Amino acid sequence: MTRRMIVLDSAKEDFKDIQRYVKQNFGEAVWHTVHAEYRDAFRRIQQAPQIGTPIELLADLGMSHVRTILVRQTRLVYEFDDSLVIVHLFIGTRQDFRAHLLKRLLRC
């Protein structure tokens, strides 16, 4: 079953930042390759979101439906249910994952 996917506005901004960075530093051709890898990751999590890795910090809080999948040097963080996948953020592997995750997912 393919789930509907929603990318939050904040995650869209993250993605635009990645796009700008890749294009500026590596060129348009590399961006097309990277973009195809993201499209493939989106397709895979829409079809089988459980393939992502549970986030231990959140699983300990009972949020086992939030997962992460790696695309190159970026973690794609999403949550899912039986019909929907929500992309919350894209974060580079060099960033403080815990601090950024808590800020983005648990903000009030």
pTM recorded for the entire structure = 0.85
Residue 37 domain boundaries? 4-105
Q: First vs last Cα of the chain: how many Å apart? A: 32
Instruction: Give me the pLDDT at residue 106, please.
Output: 67
Contact 53, 67 (CB under 8 A): yes
Number of structural domains in the chain:
1
Contact 91, 77 (CB under 8 A): yes
The domain that holds 42 is classified in CATH as 3.30.2310.20
Instruction: Give me the pLDDT at residue 108, please.
Output: 41
Query: What is the full per-residue pLDDT of the chain (108 aa) written as tens digits?
Result: 789 999 999 999 999 999 999 999 999 999 999 999 999 999 999 999 999 999 887 777 777 789 999 999 999 999 999 999 999 999 888 877 777 767 766 664
* 3-state SS, residue 72: coil
Judging by beta carbons within 10 Å of its beta carbon (0-12, 13-18, 19+), is residue 46 exposed, middle or buried? middle
